[in-house]
Amino acid sequence: MKVILMYAIAPRLVHEQSIEVAEGSTVQQAVDAGGWWRRFPALAESDVRWGIWSRLVELDAALREGDRVEAYRPLRVDPKVARRERFTGQGAKGAGLFSKRRPGSKAGY
């Protein structure tokens, strides 16, 4: 059966590989068949998570025809913290839903 392996080693740099595996193969066996442990040593780290079509799974999860196996890197920055810092840099009047008001309108409209 055919499955796709996906891994983004950096932002906007995605590696995709289509491979053939036997029926009943697991995520671990698919990654082995693709040679990704040698190609990307960072995948062996414990903080890398695995998924099939954006759903988290373990390495022993069974695969089906057409599955997309994805490796997820840990986030470098908490998204909430990043948004808060962007908002602080822009200022309250230059960002958000109410940054452009009509002349003569009430605040918030």
Does residue 20 sit within a domain? yes
Give the per-residue pLDDT at 77.
Answer: 81
Range of 56's domain?
2-72
Q: Exposure pattern of 21-60 as b/e (b: 16+ CB <10 Å)? A: beeebbbebbbebbebeeebeebeeeeeebbbeeeebeee
Answer whether residue 106 is part of any domain. Answer: no
Residue 63 resides in a domain: yes
Write the CATH number for 35.
3.10.20.30
**Does some domain include residue 103?**
no
- Residue 80: inside a domain, yes or no? no
Backbone φ and ψ of 34, nearest 5°: -80, -10
**Tens-digit pLDDT profile for the chain (109 aa)?**
999 999 988 888 899 999 999 998 999 899 989 888 888 888 887 788 899 998 999 988 999 999 999 999 888 888 888 888 877 766 555 555 556 666 776 665 5
In the chain, how many domains are there? Answer: 1
0.75 exceeded by the pTM? no
Which residue, among 105, 21, 104, has the nearest Cα to 69 in the 3D structure? 21
Give tens-digit pLDDT for 15-26.
999 999 999 899
Give the pLDDT of residue 52.
94
**Residue 88 belongs to some domain of the structure:** no
